[in-house]
Amino acid sequence: MAAYGSLVWVGQAIAPITGTLTEDLIRVTEQMIPVHDIAADLTEMRAASIAENIATVQYVLANNIDPATVSPPPGAAAYAQRLARRGVPLTVLLRAYGLGQYRLLDAAIGLILATPGPEQGVRIAELLKFASSYLDRLNSSMGRIYEAERDRWLSSRQAARQQWITRLLDNADVDVAAAEEVLGYRLDRTHLAAEVWTAPTTTGADAVRALEQTRQLLCTVMRTGGTELVAATGDRALRIWFPTRTDPPDSLATQLDTAGLPVRVALGPAGEGLPGFRRSARCAARTKTLALSAGPCAPTVVDYTAVAPFALLTDDPDELAALVHRALGALAGDGTKKQLLRHTLDVFLAEGASYSRTARVLDIHRNTVQYRIQQVTGRYGIDLDTNTFELRFALGVCRWYRHVLTRTM
């Protein structure tokens, strides 16, 4: 046990003035750490915590107790837990303990200096050593209590939020007002849902950081009309609803790439009220499934409105493959060269079978376009004068459902 026997008399001398010290510290704490920094209804708990802590220090000194063995008083622990549940930063609590140590040291050193003798310097040094050990023990204990309660509370709160989100998405009869109160999100407006996820190689703190930075970027570019609603859908994935009437900018993918964020984003369509909230989430989820199916070649940002016909094709992979192979034949195979020819053909059909416009879109020479189209029609026997709708549809399926390229028919 640490020896602080010479400080026993200091603890005994403090006993008669603990009331005055408590009142003084409560007043100074309220001045230095105003009530608006915590919450008005916590004022009484803070005062009780201060009183308990001063009484504990006095008792430990007067009874020569090793400060490294002392646990926080119950009231102080309860106060720390309440702060954690309110989301008040731990720094607010630690500032208060630092302030309390300063005021107690000032009073104790005053008592030592008021008693002349050759041991003054030794006693002050011993007091400082005691104070350092006691505060380290207290801060460590209170920090653990605070963090454990915060984690428990956040976990419980997140579970409750997830339950309400599930009810909103799945239940026909749901208490919308109660859901809005728990979620802090109004449903009587326009919503746009987004699925955000990181690459499988991005883990831990990097994934958390990337998701948060993406959320902030999306909030900025979407010009939200209020606080967004965020729900975790996995270790590296979020679903976010934005209260907005603004369409996603075309530059969103460029902004994400410029920011160096290793994420993908799938956007649902904007929708009004609870039906729009549900539909946008459902469509964003389908779009994410589509993007995952396309693999690494999928764009950074995929908007449901641009891929809706393909996002709906998820139930019968055999029929998809049959349609693709019927329309494209051997061109529906894996490989870089075939992929290049399919892309050229897709643009060619979209540009009304114009070689010059296709060349401009692809930024290649007109003769290169002609050569590639000749390969499509000659080597692979594809007739461009027949059903071009089915042909373009098959090309789109190849892009988004890569499994059809290797499926044996």
The 8-class DSSP code of residue 231 comes to E
With a CB cutoff of 8 Å and minimum separation 6, the contacts of 278 are 168, 169, 271
| CATH 1.10.490 domain locations along the chain | 5-153
| CATH 3.30.70.120 domain locations along the chain | 189-311
CA–CA separation, 303 vs 267, rounded Å? 5
- pLDDT, position 314: 61
Q: Which whole number is the average pLDDT over 255-270? A: 91
Statement: residue 315 has pLDDT above 70: no
Rg (CA), the chain: 34
The token pair at 24 is 């003084």
Pick from 54-68, 69-83, 179-193, 301-315: least confident: 301-315
CA–CA separation, 371 vs 209, rounded Å? 47
- pLDDT, position 345: 92
The residue that leads in pLDDT, 151 or 142, is 142
| CATH 1.10.10.2840 domain locations along the chain | 317-405
The residue that leads in pLDDT, 41 or 201, is 201
If one counts every other C-beta atom within 10 angstroms of the C-beta of residue 363, the result is: 6
CA–CA separation, 222 vs 55, rounded Å? 55
Burial class of residue 24 in the structure, from the number of CB atoms within 10 Å of its CB (0-12 exposed, 13-18 middle, 19+ buried): middle
Residue 3: which of 123, 161, 120, 100 has the closest Cα? Answer: 123
CA–CA separation, 311 vs 280, rounded Å? 13
- pLDDT, position 3: 61
- pLDDT, position 276: 92
- The architecture (CATH level 2) of 189-311 comes to 2-Layer Sandwich (3.30)
Statement: residue 403 has pLDDT above 80: no
pLDDT digits (tens, 9 = 90+) for 334-360: 888 999 999 999 999 999 899 999 999
- pLDDT, position 407: 63
Residue linked to tokens 């373009």: 392
Statement: residue 409 has pLDDT above 70: no
- pLDDT, position 1: 46
Long-range contacts of 241-245 (CB under 8 A, 24+ apart): 241/185, 241/191, 241/192, 241/193, 241/194, 241/277, 241/280, 241/281, 242/191, 242/192, 242/193, 242/194, 242/218, 243/185, 243/186, 243/189, 243/190, 243/191, 244/190, 244/191, 244/192, 244/270, 245/190, 245/270
CA–CA separation, 24 vs 32, rounded Å? 12
Asked if the 5-153 domain carries CATH number 3.80.10, the reply is no
| Biggest CA-to-CA distance, the chain | 111
CA–CA separation, 287 vs 266, rounded Å? 6
Residues 74, 79, 80, CA angle at the centre, nearest 5°?
100
CA–CA separation, 344 vs 395, rounded Å? 10
pLDDT confidence bin for 316, thresholds 50/70/90:
low
CA–CA separation, 180 vs 3, rounded Å? 58
The token pair at 181 is 């109160």
CA 307 vs CA 246, 292, 298: distances in Å = 19, 13, 12
Q: Which whole number is the average pLDDT over 278-299? A: 89
pLDDT confidence bin for 303, thresholds 50/70/90:
very high
Domain 317-405 CATH class label: mainly alpha
